[in-house]
């Protein structure tokens, strides 16, 4: 499904009951603010926020039919950490955090939990240009207090936990999975 065009097709293949929904899209639109275009901001917002909102709307009936459901949205460490060249992505990911908190409040009476996972740079095909040499890999690892960049398993473990019954009393939370980058300053 291409959320940039329409999410209407989603409802046609959803089950009657849906226990969990993960909206896991992303892009890495890194450029100096002076070179950002209006289209850059609109496209990032449409992909991250409008796509999430319409996907959730299409899934809402099935989520409500489950006795308890969980929605997990993906943000970024950049939404809460000032990072150069991240203006558009940080703005759209901060908006998805606002959407998540609002939906957590609104959907709690339907026993639908809504949470955010906010990763830092993760070794995925999307980040391949940022991790395509040993020097870039080393520099990225050193930026993180734990001395490494993320792996898909790091992110998926947090998502799996938030989808599981083990997190049944967690909603409206932003879980950083960022190697400490968002909150820790370990160098002087």
Domain ranges of the chain: 17-176
Question: Strand, coil or helix: what is 157?
Answer: helix
Kindly compute the dihedral angle of the four CA atoms of residues 84, 123, 54, 168, in this order, to the nearest 10 degrees. Answer: -110
User: For the range 76-83, what are the long-range contacts, defined as Cβ-Cβ under 8 Å and sequence gap of 24 or more?
Assistant: 76/26, 76/118, 76/119, 76/120, 77/118, 77/119, 77/120, 77/176, 77/178, 77/181, 77/182, 79/118, 80/118, 80/174, 80/182, 81/181, 81/182
> What's this model's pTM, rounded to 2 decimal places?
0.94
What is the C-alpha to C-alpha distance for residues 139 and 122, in angstroms, rounded to an integer?
13
- Token reading at 9: 């097709």
pLDDT in tens, 25-50: 978 889 999 999 999 999 999 999 99
Q: Is the dihedral of CA 7, 41, 130, 174 positive or negative?
A: negative
Provide CATH code, domain 17-176: 3.40.50.720
- Per-residue pLDDT at 186 exceeds 70: yes
pLDDT in tens, 79-133: 999 899 999 999 999 999 999 999 999 999 999 999 999 999 999 998 989 999 9
20-23/69-74 β-pairing: parallel
């Amino acid at each position: 499904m291409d959320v940039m065009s329409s999410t209407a097709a989603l409802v046609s293949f959803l089950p009657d009951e849906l226990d969990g929904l993960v909206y896991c899209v992303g892009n890495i639109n890194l450029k100096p603010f002076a070179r950002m275009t209006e289209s850059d901001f609109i496209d990032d917002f449409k992909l991250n926020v409008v796509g999430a909102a319409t996907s959730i709307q299409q899934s809402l009936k099935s989520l409500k039919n489950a006795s308890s459901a969980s929605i997990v949205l993906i943000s970024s460490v950049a939404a809460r950490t000032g990072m150069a060249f991240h203006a558009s992505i940080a703005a759209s990911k901060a908006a998805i955090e606002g959407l998540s908190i609002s939906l957590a409040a609104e959907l709690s009476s339907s026993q639908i939990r809504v949470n955010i996972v906010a990763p830092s740079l993760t070794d995925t095909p999307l980040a391949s240009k940022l991790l395509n040499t040993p020097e870039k890999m080393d520099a990225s690892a050193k930026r993180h207090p734990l001395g490494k960049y993320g792996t898909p398993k790091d992110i998926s473990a947090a998502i799996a936990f938030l989808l599981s019954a083990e997190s049944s009393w967690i909603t409206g939370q932003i879980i950083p999975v960022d190697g400490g980058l968002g909150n820790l300053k370990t160098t002087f």
